[in-house]
Amino acid sequence: MKRIILALLVFCVLVSCNNEDKKIGAEELANEATADIETIKEQSIAEIKAKLVDKGYQVFDYVDEKTNDTTLMQQYFIAFLKRGPIRNQNEEEASKLQNEHLAHLGKMYELGYADISGPFGDDGDIKGITIYNVPTLQMADSLANADPMVKAGRLVIEVHPWWAAKGFPLR
């Protein structure tokens, strides 16, 4: 279990880098996140909203009562990766599945389908999450179920719609 958590943490760190050869400090990451937000702010909310709606995304405007600022809310999908019924693989097969699982998550990130993935830090039945940035629940479910760990029965997927402000980074 510790190997799996360590591998997922390493994967998350690697995926979060824009370039393997480029080491980015915390200040540079913050500057990049700010630049991304500014790019979104340069476009009107109406423009962003129209593009998302044209692609089939669900969105709505939220107006902050204190500032009267309009925030565009977008529907994402959270896939909970849960302990599956088939966990009797030997160490070699489990390791192979883990590598394929990480490659799948990396591909989802590279293709723009997943925004963030990661394991939970306990040994509960929910092993981790992936947040999919796709227009439909069916698409998120299909992508999540294409994971080799899910196909092998080591994990099962539970997907839920989730709303978040468009363009706001994690802090």
Q: Provide the CA 6 distance to its chain's centre, in angstroms.
A: 18
Domains along the sequence of the chain with CATH: 2-165 (3.30.70.1060)
- How high is the pLDDT of residue 41? 55
Q: Give yes or no for a contact between 79 and 146, defined as CB atoms under 8 angstroms apart.
A: no
- By CB atoms closer than 10 A (0-12, 13-18, 19+), residue 52 is middle
- How high is the pLDDT of residue 38? 57
> At residue 24, does pLDDT exceed 80?
no
pLDDT tens readout for residues 87-110: 999 999 999 999 999 999 999 999
CA distance 39 to 31: 12
- How high is the pLDDT of residue 78? 98
pLDDT tens readout for residues 102-141: 999 999 999 999 999 999 999 899 999 999 999 999 999 9
C-beta neighbour count of 73 within 10 angstroms: 15
pLDDT tens readout for residues 33-90: 455 555 555 678 888 899 999 999 999 998 889 999 888 999 999 999 999 999 999 9
CA distance 116 to 108: 9
